[in-house]
Chain A
């Protein structure tokens, strides 16, 4: 079965298909979803592939139900996921919150298209980045990854499952139409080279005194799933460590400490970025997803002109790498962010720079990716102003 699930080899594959293959390689055996451009190919391939590896694919009536189904499957012990785009992502928001509150491992791939509303179904955007962070009500921490190639769609999907299992929460893959639909080389390693993390299981046998939401030293509670013999109560109401509703401020504080703390205290395992040419840079382009490729092209052109420019590619976008960006802002004259929206993640740069360096946005309303020459022009202009 393992060999069927992991398509070891070199492929010319689109990002949506690579996302599906990453999920299967990570052990995903349950997918519930509702087709939507440009994420349909993930579901389509799952429908074809999952039955072959002993998994289950369900096309649900909508995205609300899809999200609910993958939470249920996760509590049934399966690694589960769904995929969607803008309108579906909006519908999933409430149950993403349920997943956060009930600490349910699962993965959601959002292949972003231009909005608001139905917008441009077949065309690219990065307009859901703040929705990913704050779209469900209440306060919470979430993890979101931003792939910029079909290869990263594979790699980051594997990582998304590992993070979901490790920290017991829904993990978002914030892809986009170009990454999803673009074909490029995807190398799938042999199964034994793919490192997988499984959720912690309780060490104590079922019985009275078992506390399903009692965290261990790392802040994460082991997870018993239905059928293992433990008595379980799972609710989106504020609950105590037994899992029972607890309607008071003290219980709320304790639960929130657990939900926030398991992320904030384990940042070393979650944060991920790659930096290029920072040593001599007075301007640094910070980018994520498909726009990191525009940035890479622009920085290469700028360096040919001898301009002191560096590049930071954010692999994990939420939580935002605060400490690193704060440090960077103290060392450079300017940070530039290209993104296919009218200014979302750049707000994080501004917040962290706190006036210590200039912050510039290269915006795009959606429908196309950002040309490297637009980023290059901003680099030139910024350097001119800074000198």
Chain B
């Protein structure tokens, strides 16, 4: 299957859409593949539940909605509860361990967690939790290449924050590399 589908979910203000945008940009601009990024949100500007859906493919993508993702990144309890049932068998679920309490998991899933918000806070800004998450993803999944993801991230964050965001990305990646010593998922 040449299409890889990722859903990132959380609440408004966490940079969920930016995260999807970076992933899509990495695939399109830096990996030279095809990608779509769509978003789901309510009328509230902040605090409401939101998600972004990314499809990465070797060929042109016809249908840009994601119905059953292979990879699910959860940065809120509501996002987890809403989206986990749609994850495919054999898929990968990653959650922020301080924000999400998970319930029963499908045994075919690769289940991984990272204290992304706590790591970002340690680096001085919890707003970077999404970047920690991306760094983590780069270690545990090959949806896009690490180099492409990092370049896309650096091209998408405010210039002044590049250095700390790079640090956040690396911290997430290191944490992921430690975790991925564990049995591999299909993500």
Identify the A interface with B (CB < 8 A).
Answer: 10-12, 37, 121-122, 178, 181-185, 293-294, 296-297, 300, 368-369, 371-372
Chain B residues with Cβ under 8 A from A296's Cβ?
A: 62
Let me know if B38 and A181 touch, CB within 8 A. Answer: yes
Let me know if A183 and B36 touch, CB within 8 A. Answer: yes
> How many A-B pairs fall under 8 Å by CB?
60
Residue from the set A178, A182, A371 with the largest chain B CB neighbour count within 10 Å = A182
Let me know if B37 and A183 touch, CB within 8 A. Answer: yes
Could you list 7 examples of A-B contacts with CB < 8 Å? A12-B21, A182-B38, A183-B36, A184-B28, A293-B63, A296-B62, A372-B63
Residue B25 interfacial (CB < 8 Å)? yes
Let me know if A12 and B38 touch, CB within 8 A. Answer: no
Q: How far is the CB of B45 from chain A (nearest CB, A)?
A: 11
Q: Interface 1/0s, chain B 44-74, versus A by CB < 8 A?
A: 0000000000000000011111010000000
Let me know if A12 and B63 touch, CB within 8 A. Answer: no
Residue B24 interfacial (CB < 8 Å)? yes
Residue B159 interfacial (CB < 8 Å)? no
Main secondary structure, interface of A, reads mixed
Residue B118 interfacial (CB < 8 Å)? no
Q: How far is the CA of A184 from the CA of B25 in the complex (A)?
A: 8
Chain A residues with Cβ under 8 A from B29's Cβ?
A: 10-12, 185
Let me know if B35 and A184 touch, CB within 8 A. Answer: yes
Q: How far is the CB of B131 from chain A (nearest CB, A)?
A: 17
B60 to chain A: closest residue by CB: A296
Chain A residues with Cβ under 8 A from B37's Cβ?
A: 12, 182-184
Let me know if A181 and B62 touch, CB within 8 A. Answer: no
Sample of 14 further A-B pairs with CB below 8 A, known A182-B38, A183-B36, A293-B64: A12-B25, A122-B43, A181-B38, A181-B39, A182-B64, A183-B37, A184-B28, A185-B28, A185-B29, A293-B63, A294-B62, A294-B63, A369-B65, A372-B63
Let me know if B36 and A184 touch, CB within 8 A. Answer: yes
A301 to chain B: closest residue by CB: B62
Residue B107 interfacial (CB < 8 Å)? no
Chain A residues with Cβ under 8 A from B88's Cβ?
A: none
Let me know if B65 and A368 touch, CB within 8 A. Answer: yes
A121 and B43 contact, Cβ closer than 8 Å, known pairs A12-B29, A183-B36, A184-B35: yes
Query: Ordered nearest first, which 7 A-B pairs have the shortest CB separation?
Result: A297-B62, A12-B25, A183-B37, A296-B62, A297-B63, A12-B28, A185-B28
Q: How far is the CB of A10 from chain B (nearest CB, A)?
A: 6
Chain B residues with Cβ under 8 A from A372's Cβ?
A: 62-63
Residue B103 interfacial (CB < 8 Å)? no
Let me know if B35 and A185 touch, CB within 8 A. Answer: yes
Residue from the set A185, A293, A294, A372 with the largest chain B CB neighbour count within 10 Å = A185
Q: How far is the CB of A280 from chain B (nearest CB, A)?
A: 21
Q: How far is the CA of A178 from the CA of B38 in the complex (A)?
A: 7
A122 and B42 contact, Cβ closer than 8 Å, known pairs A12-B21, A183-B37, A185-B28: yes
Q: How far is the CA of A297 from the CA of B35 in the complex (A)?
A: 16
Let me know if B65 and A300 touch, CB within 8 A. Answer: no
Let me know if A183 and B21 touch, CB within 8 A. Answer: yes
B33 to chain A: closest residue by CB: A185
Chain A residues with Cβ under 8 A from B25's Cβ?
A: 12, 183
Q: How far is the CA of A181 from the CA of B29 in the complex (A)?
A: 18
Q: How far is the CA of A185 from the CA of B59 in the complex (A)?
A: 12
Selected from B24, B34, B41, B61, the residue in CB contact (under 8 A) with A122 is B41
